[in-house]
Structure 1
Amino acid sequence: MMTALRTLFLLLAVAPAFTASALLPEEENTIRIFKEASASVVYVTNVAINQSPYMDELAIPQGAGSGYVWDQKGHIVTNYHVVQGGDAFLVTMRDQTQLEATLVGADPTKDIAVLRVTRSVDKLKPIRVGSLDSLQVGQKTIAIGNPFGLDHTMTTGVISALGREVQGVGGVTIRDMIQTDAAINPGNSGGPLLDSSGNLIGMNTIIFSRSGASAGIGFAVPVSFIRRIVPQLIQFGKVVRPGLGISILNPQQKYNLLGDEPGVVVNSISPGSPAAKAGLRGLRRLPGGGVAIGDIIIGVDNFQIADFDDLYNAFDRYKAGDTVALKVLRGGKTLILSAKLVNLQ
């Protein structure tokens, strides 16, 4: 009897220790990341102010999403489509503290926006920002956000693909997107996508789904865009991109002239612009009343240009002062022109 009791006592004594050590190292790491990173994740509510002649202003919730703390100056990063059309914004912290926020700036073409809170900034914990240098397909991903308003929900998955192209809310294709199978649902937009070290590698943005719920195909804006764009939004309230100082024909006008031929057709050139200095030509009227087609840009350095999206995304990789080689078609001949890019306001 005593032997049986001693055995039972030993089993009971060992059980708690066994339970505590039952977590796998990978699980312990995931738990640690959630505890550390969730303090940087916020719930963003987009509010529209309606004016009524019969009553005071009405604050009507328009939409909600996620975001994350960028710095200790009160800047919060989220998706542009989360704040689009809003007049006022509420940021809810992990401890349920609600802070009013103002819109600092946005870049619709990359679906990035920056808000700022001015109260309780001493409590803010900025997220750790990583890089894309070593990302590989199959690498673990961790998404934290507020799907369907369920605050600070974590899901995990892997990088399913890199370099995806997705049509953004700004009307321009967003390239180099990260595809993940971590469950991303409405309300996750603007939340961080983390690697297995807890570093920000992307911002959850878009899901591919026929039902509106997660179908295992989600896309995140890569951290390389975020690192480059967010400081500009904080400093200028917008992204200042380099360019040539040209206008181009719209797709229908180009199709009427060239059919499905690749390239963008230069319509007009600003005096004194990089395009003018490089010798680019736009549409011009001939003495007899006809019209001479402008130069057709088909390449920028090593980037092939088939349409406006290609040209836009090519210039997005440069900064003011960079010199590019423009490959153009003129009168059936191929020319290479050199142009020094400038910031376009």
Structure 2
Amino acid sequence: MIIQKFISLIIVLNLYLFSAYGVTRFSVEEQENIRIYEKSSKAVVNISNIGLNYDFFYRAIPAESGSGTGFLIDDSGTIVTNYHVVENARKLIITLSDNSQWPGELIGADPNNDLAVIRIDAPSSSYEYLAFSSSRDIVVGQKVLALGNPFGLRLTLTTGIISALGRTIAAKNGRKIEGIIQTDAAINPGNSGGPLLDSEGKVIGINTAIIGTSGSVGIGFAVPSDTALRILPDLLEYGYVRRPWLGIEPIPTVYLKRIGIDVPEGVLIARVVKGASADQAGLLGATKTVKVGNYKIPWGGDIITHINQTKVTTMEDLAQQIETRRSGDVINIKLIRNERVLSIKVELFLRPRS
């Protein structure tokens, strides 16, 4: 009888302690989510983009023109976000997780990858910061967590998986962003610029877009962390991304085919910029103009068909092969010149800052 009472007491105490201290209240996955949220949310910020409106008398009135998310990456107050979150901002107000607000300074921006860097002068004790993990190692089916401020609802966590890799979406300037991560973690307006985290709480992507305008439909996109890591040094040091260029005016031959010209598939060089990479490697631009119907077409230039064995038929193909490389890289260009196939090595130089 005494033994039974003792066992009953132990059971009651265990139930009480488990309930009181949460030993069995949460699954292992839930505990992991809670741990990541509690640590990472202190690194996530709300970004208010302050623009100008005009009243009836055409007087300028500061007004919030948009808001989004960002996250701190060091103890110097450096914040990564999307370019479209800060675009055309007259003033940036950064709200930390402790609700303190700080003016933000735009340090650098890259519209081509929809990324920007802001800095705040806040004490490092008022925030945490996140570390990056290489997006090269991620796989479809892997668990991810998205943090952000959807619809102005601050510090919201959603979870999901990586649904696909290597997607291509268009930046606001029309340029294609390659290698995009697709996820089913709920991403809504206001999440832009927030971190996409792996199960260790490290950043593998920067949430950037959703399909549709009404909110999440289970298809969200994030710029991979490796893209951010590649361009961050330039953004921090120069304020823009220093990209190499060929120094040509290209015309995709698909347009020439549409007006009846029999021409190989590729990119025709209409003009070569003097002193640029293409000029120094001996690539040739058009030597004359021919008239086809109502069109005047540059003619006689080299037609680029491949770069490093990758087929090139569009402006985006060309940009992808050139702008993802660094100054000093040497590429092999396969081209057609006067019906002969040639292979020419070209050393890439930096595009002049205009």
Q: Aligned-pair distance for 1:136? A: 0.8
Alpha-carbon shift at residue 55 of structure 1 (Å): 9.1
**Corresponding residue for residue 277 of structure 2:** 274
Q: Which residue of 1 aligns with 2:128?
A: 125
Normalised to the residue count of structure 1, the TM-score between the two structures is 0.90
Structure 1 runs (4+) deviating above 6 angstroms are 2-8, 51-56, 286-290
Name the structure 1 match of 2:225.
Answer: 223
**Contact preservation (8 Å) 1:147, 1:188:** yes
In the alignment, structure 1 residue 292 sits paired with structure 2 residue 295: no
CA distance in 1, matches of 2:214, 2:55: 34
Q: Counterpart amino acid of 2:120? A: V
Q: Which runs of 5+ in 2 are unaligned?
A: none
Structure 1 residue runs of 5 or longer lacking an equivalent are none
> Is residue 2:325 matched to residue 1:323?
no
Spell out the pairing of 1:235-254 with structure 2 (5 A cutoff). Answer: 235-249=237-251, 254=256
Query: Is the 2:91–2:104 contact (alpha carbons within 8 Å) kept by the matching residues of 1?
Result: yes
Instruction: Confirm or deny: 8 A CA contact 1:106 1:114 kept in the other structure.
Output: yes
Structural mapping, 1:181-200, within 5 Å: 181-200=184-203
Cα distance change on mapping 1:334 and 1:45 into 2, 3 Å: same
Aligned pair in 2 of structure 1 residues 46, 322: CA closer, same or farther (>3 Å)?
same
Preserved CA contact (<8 Å) 1:262 1:307: no
Distance (Å, rounded) in 2 between the aligned partners of 1:260 and 1:313 = 23
Q: 1:171 to 1:282 in 2, by over 3 A?
A: same
Structure 2 letter corresponding to 1:181: D
Q: Is the 8 A contact 1:46 1:64 kept in 2?
A: yes
Question: Aligned to 2:136, what secondary structure does the other structure show?
Answer: coil
> 1:42·1:91 contact (CA, 8 Å) conserved in 2?
yes
Q: Which residue of 2 aligns with 1:114?
A: 117
Residue 344 (structure 1) aligns with = 351
- The root-mean-square deviation of aligned C-alpha atoms, in Å, is 2.8
Corresponding residue to 1:177 among 171, 177, 180? 180
Given candidates 308, 312, 320, the residue that maps to 2:315 is 308
The alignment of Structure 1 onto Structure 2 pairs a total of residues equal to 344
Aligned equivalents of 1:168, 1:223: Cα separation in 2: 17
What are the equivalent positions in structure 2 for 1:1-345 lying under 5 Å apart?
A: 12-19=12-19, 20-22=22-24, 23-50=26-53, 57-209=60-212, 212-249=214-251, 254=256, 255-256=258-259, 262-285=265-288, 292-345=299-352
Classify the secondary structure of the residue corresponding to 1:133. helix
AA partner of residue 210 (structure 2): I
Looking at structure 1, the residues matched to 59 and 319 of structure 2 have their Cα atoms a distance apart, in angstroms, of: 44
Tell me the CA shift for residue 177 of structure 1: 0.5
Change (3 A) 1:290 1:191: closer
Identity of aligned residues (%): 36
